[in-house]
Amino acid sequence: MAEKKAAGKSSKKAKAAAKPKVKAKKAATKPKKAPARKKSSPKKPASKKAGTATSGLDKSVAQFRESLEESVTLSRDRIQEIVDDAVKRGRMTRGDAEKLLGELVKRGRKQTDSLLGELERLIKQARKEVGGRAEPVRKQATQAARRARKKLG
C-alpha cells in the first residue's frame, strides 16, 4: 500500500515538473521589436536539382540520427550476465534464457545491418552529390591552367 502511495506521489511530482509555469509565461510576454530588415542583393537562383538533393540528404541524415538515438546498445556478454542472473534467481528456465538470448542477438544483428546499409546509402549519395558539385570547378581550374600555360609559353 505504501509503495502505491509513493509511486503516486512520484508521478504527481513528475507531472507537476512537466507542466509549464504560469509566471514564466507572463514574464515572457513583453512586446517584441520587429527585426530590422536588410536589403539583399539579387541572388543567382540555385539549381532545383542541387537544392532537392541537399534537402533530401539532410532529411536522410536526420532520419539516420533519429534511428541511432532510438537504438540501445548492449553487449552480448552483458545480456548473458543478466540472463544468467535471472536463471540463478529462478525467474526463468535455462532453455527459455538461451532462446531469449539468441532472439535478442538475432534482432540486434538485423538492426545493425539495417543501420549500416542506411549509412552506406547516405555516404554514396553524399559522394555523388559532392562529385557533381566539384566537376564544374575542376573544369574551370583545368581551363585556367591551360590558359596560363599558353601565356607563359
Q: Which domain holds residue 104?
A: 62-133
With cell 564544374, the residue in question is: 136
d(CA 129, CA 137): 14
> Is position 10 within any domain?
no
**Does residue 29 lie within any of the structural domains?**
no
Distance of CA 115 to the CA centre of its chain: 11
In a domain, 116, yes or no: yes
Count up the domains in the chain and report the number.
1
Instruction: Specify the pTM.
Output: 0.47
pLDDT at 75 > cutoff 50 = yes
Residue 72 pLDDT grade (very low, low, confident, very high; cuts 50, 70, 90): confident
153 pLDDT band (50/70/90 cuts)? Answer: confident
Nearest to 132 by CA among 51, 60, 63: 51
For 19, 61, 64, 98, 125, the CA distances from 69, given in Å and listed in that order, are 25, 12, 9, 28, 22
Radius of gyration of the chain (CA): 29
Average pLDDT, the chain: 74
Average pLDDT over residues 50-77: 76
